[in-house]
Amino acid sequence: MSTLNVVSLFSLDQKVAVVTGAGSGIGRETALLLASAGAAVVAADLNEEAAQQTVKQIESASGKAIAVKVDIGDESSILAMYETVQAKLGRLDILVNNAGIYPKTQFVETAAEKWDKVLGVNLRGTFLCMREAIKRMRAAKNGGSIINISSVASLQPVIFDNGDYGASKAGVNNLTKVAALEFAADKIRVNAVLPGGVATEGAAASTKVHQASGPITQPGRMPLGRIGVASDIAQAVLFFASPASDYVTGQLLAVDGGFQVS
């Protein structure tokens, strides 16, 4: 029986990882963890100042990172991000599609424009980031790992008045499986992490605005007895990004405290 070195299983030394939405919440925690595993991290966010704060945290722990402003709802902004990655770091090994929006609106009050914006950022933006990453990974012929941050809301209703968000993440799940199949021969693995309820700044702000109109979720459905935290999701991302998951692709991993089985 071979003995595996646990540290090497999760090492990202010499790898370059792009994390979108890295300025706060799950994105920031993921960027910090990937950097601690040895990756050079591209902290990409619409809020460049927040991305710079993430970089400062990484550098203060002797990690390597750069900040890039990106709007994943804008194709030209995505292309510019990848040009910066190539110019400054010279390669791309890992993409974490974390950036997204989740403004809540009652189903019958959802304007077409609002629907289009949510799908445009969460689904179209994820597609564009994946497409450009795959082009570069295939050209380099070094394989790669793409991790999409989806949601348990993609599988079943979790929060009221969240139909457009759930639909966008269901699309992300399908894109994950399609890309996993089509690019397996290129050694590009594509997986998704599906968070349940997670205590982040963005989620708290969205909930505060929305809860005045009535109940927002189904109570008593967390078998492990606590709300998730950003590090719970980041740890799942590290697994998919690392050699520990070399034989895993096309998977949707719910990290939800047991919500799906409750």
Residue 261 — pLDDT band, cuts 50, 70, 90? confident
Mean pLDDT, range 163-187, rounded to an integer: 98
- Burial of 191-222, coded b for 16+ CB within 10 Å and e otherwise, reads bbbbbbbbebebbeebeeebeeeeebeeeebb
Residues 6+ apart with CB under 8 A from 77: 69, 70, 71
**Window from 78-82, 87-91, 144-148, 200-204 with minimum mean pLDDT:** 200-204
Q: Which of 82, 102, 165, 247 is catalytic?
A: 165
pLDDT at 237: 98
pLDDT at 226: 87
Domain ranges of the chain: 11-255
Mean pLDDT, range 99-104, rounded to an integer: 94
pLDDT at 202: 53
Cα–Cα distance measured from residue 262 to residue 258, given in angstroms and rounded to the nearest whole number: 6
User: What CATH fold (topology level) applies to the domain 11-255?
Assistant: Rossmann fold (3.40.50)
Q: What is the pLDDT of residues 210-221, one digit of tens each?
A: 444 444 445 556
Q: What is the pLDDT of residues 105-148, one digit of tens each?
A: 999 999 999 999 999 999 999 999 999 999 999 999 999 999 99
pLDDT at 257 over 70: yes
pLDDT at 168 over 60: yes
- Round the average pLDDT of the chain to a whole number and report it: 92
Is 165 a known active-site residue? yes
pLDDT at 212: 46
